[in-house]
Amino acid sequence: MTGTLRQPGSARERWLVAGPPLAYLIVFFALPTLLMVVASFRLAGEFGGLAPLRSESGGWNLSLDSYGRFFASSLYLQLFVKSFLYALVTTAICLALAYPLAWLIAHSAKRYRDLLLLLVILPFWSNFLIRVYAWMIILGPDWALARTLNAVLGLVGIGPVTLMFSPFAVIVVLVYVHLPFMVLPLYANLEKHDPTLLDAARDLGAGAWQRFRHITWPLSLPGVFAGSALVFIPAFGIFAVPDLVGGTDGIMIGNVIKQQFLEARDWPFGSVLSIVLTAAALVLTGLAALAARPRRSAA
C-alpha cells in the first residue's frame, strides 16, 4: 500500500488548493512580519516606535545592537527556559486531562457526541478576563479551596498558604485557558479510529493497556501532536495570565516582550525577542512533528 493520496497531484490542483491560504497568509502575515523582522535591525525611534530607515546624513539606520543586547545577558535566556518549562508543564497537564475526556466523547453514543463536544468549548465563549477573574475568586483566600487547604496544612503545622499570585495560580489558569485546544484535535483524531482493530486485538488476547499502548496511542499521535502544538506554542509566549495572577516572580518571556513595545519603547529589541521566541517555538514544533510521525503500518 503506497498511499495513493500522497500523489503530488497536478500542478493546477496544488495551485487551487494551496494557493488561496498561501496567498492570504503571505499578505496578512508574512508581509507584516517581515516589517518587524526588518525592525529588529533598525534603531529605536527617539520617542518610541522606530527610527526612520535613513538617517539625516543619508546612511542607513541599521545595526545588530539589539541582537547583541539579547546575547549579552543571561537574563533573557533564563526567562526563555522558565517560560519553556511553564509551557511544558501546562501541555502535559492538558494532555493528561484532555485525553480521557476526548476518548470518552469519541466513544459516546452518536447522539450525545455533538452536545458533549459543545459543552467542552462553551465556557470559552465567555470572556477571557472574566474567566480569569472567576479563578481569582475561586483561588482567593476566602473560598473553600484555600480554606480547606490551609486547614489541612494547619494540622501539619505549615503556615497559611496563598494560592493566588503564585506559580500554582499561573499553571492552573494556563491549563484552564488552553484545555479546549487539546481536547478538540484529540477528539477529531480519536473519533476516526477503526474499532475493528481493537476488536481484533482483544480477540487475540490483548489486555486493555496493551490495546491502548500498541493501537490507540500510536494512532492518536497526530492528534496528540496537534493538540500539544496548539497548547504549548501559545502558552510559551503568553503574557496576560502571568500579569493577572502571577506573583512578583511570575514574569514570563511574553511579559518582557510586551514591556519592550510599551514601557521601554524599544521596538527593535522587542522584535528580536519575538523572533527568538517564534524561532524556538517553530524548531520545537518541528522536532515534535518528527517524533509524532504516524506509522503507516496500521493499514
Partner 1 sequence: MTALFPRAMFAAVFCTVLLVGCGKKEEAPPPPKAAPAEAKAEARPTGTLNLYNWNDYIAPETVERFEKEFNAKIAQTYFSDNEEMLAKLAAGATGYDIIVPTSNALEVLIKKGDLQPLDHSKLPNLKNMKPEFLDTSFDPGNKFSVPYAYSTTVIGYNDKRMKAAGLDPRGFEVLFDPKIACKVKGHITVLDSPDEVFSAAFIYLGIDPNTTNNDDYKKAADTIRKAKPCWAAFNSSSYIKEMSAGNMWLALGYSVDFFQANRDAAAAKRDFKVVSVIPSQGAVLSVDNMVIHKSAPNPALAHAFINFMMEGQNAAELSNLIGSGNANAAAMEFIKPEVKANVSVFPDAEAMKKLHQLRFLPAEQRQERGRLWTEVKVR
Partner 2 sequence: MNRTAPRWVWTSALAAYLFLYLPLLVVVVFSFNDSKLNAEWVGFTTAWYARLFRNNEMLIAARNSLLIALTASLVSTVLGTMAGFALHKYRMRVLPVLVVAPIAIPEILMGVALLMFYVMLNLTLGLVSITLSHIAFCIGYVALVVRARLAGMDESLVEAARDCGATPLEAFRYVTFPLILPGVIAGSLMAFTLSIDDFVITFFTAGASASTLPLQIYSMVKIAVTPEVNAISTLLLILTLLLITVAARVAPGLLRMND
Question: Residue 202 corresponds to which cell in the numbers above?
Answer: 482483544
Contacting residues for 88 by C-beta, under 8 A, at least 6 apart: 232
CA–CA distance, 228 with 178 (Å, rounded to integer): 10
What whole-number distance in Å separates Cα of residue 63 and Cα of residue 152? 58
Residue 205 contacts which entry, partner 2, partner 1, none (Cβ below 5-8 A, type-dependent): none
Q: Does 199 bind partner 2 (CB under 8 A)?
A: yes
CA angle 235, 227, 258 (to 5 degrees): 20
Binds 114: which of partner 2, partner 1, none (CB < 5-8 Å by kind): partner 2
Q: Which does 163 bind (CB under 5 to 8 A by kind): partner 2, partner 1, none?
A: none
Does 254 interact with partner 2 (rule: CB under 8 A)? yes
Which residues, other chains included, contact 127 with Cβ-Cβ below 8 Å and sequence gap of 6+? none
Least Cα distance to 76 among 249, 261, 251 occurs for 251
DSSP three-state, residue 159: coil
Query: For the residues of 153-192, what is the DSSP string, one character each?
Result: HHHHTPPP---SSSHHHHHHHHHHHHTHHHHHHHHHHHTT
By CB under 8 A, tell whether 86 contacts partner 2.
no
Contact call for residue 205 and partner 2 (CB under 8 A): no
- Cα gap 124→184, rounded to integer Å: 13
Looking at residue 149, its amino acid is L
Rounded Cα distance, 266 and 47, in Å: 10
Binding segment for partner 1 (CB under 8 A), chosen from 45-53, 85-93, 188-196, 210-218, is: 45-53
Q: Kindly state whether residue 295 participates in binding partner 2, applying the rule CB under 8 A.
A: no
Binding site partner of 239, from partner 1, partner 2, none, Cβ cut-off 5-8 A by kind: partner 2
Q: Which range, of 40-48, 107-115, 176-184, 276-284, touches partner 1 by CB under 8 A?
A: 40-48
Q: Tell which positions 128-167 bind partner 1, by CB under 8 A.
A: 133, 136, 140-142, 162, 164-165
Among 218, 222, 247, 294, binds partner 1 (CB under 8 A): 247
Q: DSSP 3-state assignment of 62?
A: strand
Among 81, 118, 158, 287, binds partner 2 (CB under 8 A): 118
47's contact among partner 2, partner 1, none, with CB below 5 to 8 A by partner kind, is partner 1
Phi, psi angle pair for 76, to nearest 5° = -75, -35
Q: How far is the CB of 270 from partner 1 (least distance, A)?
A: 10
| Cell digits of residue 98 | 484532555
Residues in contact with partner 1 by CB under 8 A are: 11, 14-15, 18-20, 22-24, 26-27, 31, 44-50, 73, 75-76, 78-79, 82, 133, 136, 140-142, 162, 164-165, 243-244, 246-251, 255-256, 259-267, 269
